[in-house]
């Protein structure tokens, strides 16, 4: 039944996107508004306790939506959150701009003919969202990145409509190279933000944005990473059974998130780690091993089903932090899940078989505590066995881990959700 509902929903979205294109071609903002309204859904997991709640439209994005849900989990709000798939804004954007402008972090428009297109795009959205108020009176909008190309110009739309455009900026884990280049890239390739308020995870992100001259100090506030609150709650939960979770290495990614043409392959490290994991699995059939893939980077067809050990299972899609609950051992590399593992008090192993931590340190996320690194297969197996036989104990955060979590997550005690709730209640009043 669930699969059927998903198929029906995908079909309805497909038809709606066709109708959106038609509405733009005939310059009918009213038809466009009606179609968008039909596709707006209430975020039901967040409950409201107000007789006259504020209404916020959210453009959902992986991890961003999870931040909201975690922040309001078990709490009632004076805000009702609604969702509109980002594909609708992208479809409208595509009518006005060619693919050269469909690039996040590069949203500045300088050519005269394209400035005209930008103004036409803003005008159409202004008329459209103004008419949506006939169906649902919106008090503001939430996006999860200040530099999403299709959402960037909603800042102007909200100014026109006297509504609040809020960014819950979900970027924080930058390596040394990214931190160095980000302020320059932001400044040169993006206009100043007209957002009403911007929430960021960490002081480092606040510093980068302010140094880029894209935002001012009054716009921006540090609230930490709400979804990492869940990890802190796990500190009091003892994992059930003996489970190893390997968050698969994204082996062919850009050296930085900004330089799309410069690739760095971690294929060798990926293959080594996977080989060792499979060897351990075959020699320890009583241990459950979960291979967590990242959508767009991994899929089940990458594994030979005939040689995949019976005690290994591949999991694709969705956020991976829920798998931390019953993880006795976590294997991860150069990913924010490393920080959530620290926060959850789970036993962490970071593969370093080719001395990556030293040779490639400028493009790796800096980890203060080097005890997590394993440099050989022998050391890898020894640590896994040690951790699997270790009795669970809720340990206090080490000074090194505290520094790491504060720097990358802006969250050292699981209170970021509270801060986000307070921030949104103050902002939307």
pLDDT band at 191 (very low <50, low <70, confident <90, very high): very high
Tell me the pLDDT band of 6, cut-offs 50, 70 and 90: confident
Which candidate, 151, 93, 100, places its Cα nearest to that of 110? 100
3-class secondary-structure state, position 244: strand
Contact 24, 32 (CB under 8 A): yes
Distance, C-alpha 144 to centroid of its chain: 8
Identify the pLDDT of residue 360: 87
- What tens digit of pLDDT does each residue of 56-98 get? 999 999 889 999 999 999 888 899 999 999 999 999 999 999 9
Cα–Cα dist 226/224, whole Å: 6
Assign domain 2-225+421-427 to a CATH class: alpha beta
- Is the domain 230-408 a CATH 3.30.450.20 member? no
Q: What is the pLDDT of residue 253?
A: 65
Task: Give the whole-number percent of the chain exceeding pLDDT 90.
Answer: 76
Contact 244, 327 (CB under 8 A): yes
Cα–Cα distance, 422 to 241 (Å, whole number): 38
pTM: 0.89
**Mean of the per-residue pLDDT values of the chain:** 91
Q: pLDDT band for position 337 (50/70/90)?
A: very high
Q: What are phi and psi of 76, to 5 degrees?
A: -95, 150
What are the tokens at 210? Answer: 């302010």
- Spatial distance between the Cα atoms of 407 and 410, rounded to a whole number of angstroms: 6
Query: Which is it for strands 263-265 and 373-374: parallel, antiparallel or unpaired?
Result: unpaired
DSSP letter assigned to residue 355: -
| Contact predicate 243/328, CB 8 Å | yes
Q: Is there a common fold for 2-225+421-427 and 230-408?
A: yes
Name the residue with tokens 């006939």: 134
- pLDDT band for 296, please (50, 70, 90 cuts): low
Residue with the bigger pLDDT between 321 and 258: it is: 321
The residue ranges of every structural domain in the chain are 2-225+421-427, 230-408
Q: Is the pLDDT of residue 297 over 90?
A: no
């Amino acid at each position: 039944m669930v699969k059927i509902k998903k198929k029906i929903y995908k079909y309805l979205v497909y038809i709606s996107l066709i109708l959106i294109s038609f509405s733009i071609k005939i310059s009918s903002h009213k038809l466009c508004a009606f179609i968008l309204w039909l596709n707006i859904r209430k975020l039901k997991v967040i409950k409201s306790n107000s007789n006259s709640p504020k209404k916020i439209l959210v453009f959902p994005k992986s991890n961003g939506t999870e931040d909201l849900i975690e922040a309001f989990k078990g709490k009632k709000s004076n805000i009702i959150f609604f969702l509109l798939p980002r594909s609708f804004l992208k479809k409208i954007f595509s009518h006005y701009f060619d693919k050269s402008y469909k690039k996040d972090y590069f949203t500045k428009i300088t050519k005269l003919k394209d400035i005209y297109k930008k103004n036409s795009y803003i005008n159409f959205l202004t008329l459209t969202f103004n008419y949506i108020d006939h169906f649902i009176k919106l008090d503001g909008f939430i996006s999860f990145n200040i530099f999403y190309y299709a959402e960037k110009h909603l800042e102007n739309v909200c100014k026109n409509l006297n509504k609040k455009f809020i960014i819950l900026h979900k970027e924080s884990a930058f390596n040394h190279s990214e931190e160095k280049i980000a302020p320059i890239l932001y400044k040169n390739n993006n206009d100043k933000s007209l957002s009403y308020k911007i929430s960021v995870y960490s002081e480092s992100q606040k510093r980068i944005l302010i140094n880029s001259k894209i935002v001012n100090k009054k716009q921006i506030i540090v609230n930490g990473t709400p979804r990492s609150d869940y990890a802190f709650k796990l500190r009091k939960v003892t994992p059930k059974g003996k489970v190893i979770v390997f968050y698969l290495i994204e082996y062919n990614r850009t050296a930085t998130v900004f330089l799309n043409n410069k690739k760095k392959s971690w294929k060798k490290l990926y293959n080594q780690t996977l080989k060792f994991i499979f060897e351990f699995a075959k020699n320890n059939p009583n241990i459950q091993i979960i291979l967590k893939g990242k959508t767009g980077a991994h899929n089940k067809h990458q594994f030979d089903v005939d040689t995949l050990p019976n005690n290994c299972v591949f999991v694709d899609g969705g956020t991976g932090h829920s798998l931390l609950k019953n993880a006795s051992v976590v294997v991860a590399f150069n990913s924010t899940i490393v920080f959530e593992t620290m926060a959850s008090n789970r036993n962490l192993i970071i593969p370093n078989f080719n001395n990556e931590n030293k040779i490639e340190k400028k493009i790796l996320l800096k980890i203060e505590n080097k005890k997590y690194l394993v440099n050989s297969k022998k050391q890898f197996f020894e640590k896994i066995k040690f951790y699997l036989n270790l009795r669970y104990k809720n340990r206090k955060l080490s000074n090194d881990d505290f520094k790491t979590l504060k720097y990358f997550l802006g969250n050292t005690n699981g209170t970021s959700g509270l801060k986000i709730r307070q921030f949104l209640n103050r902002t939307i009043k």
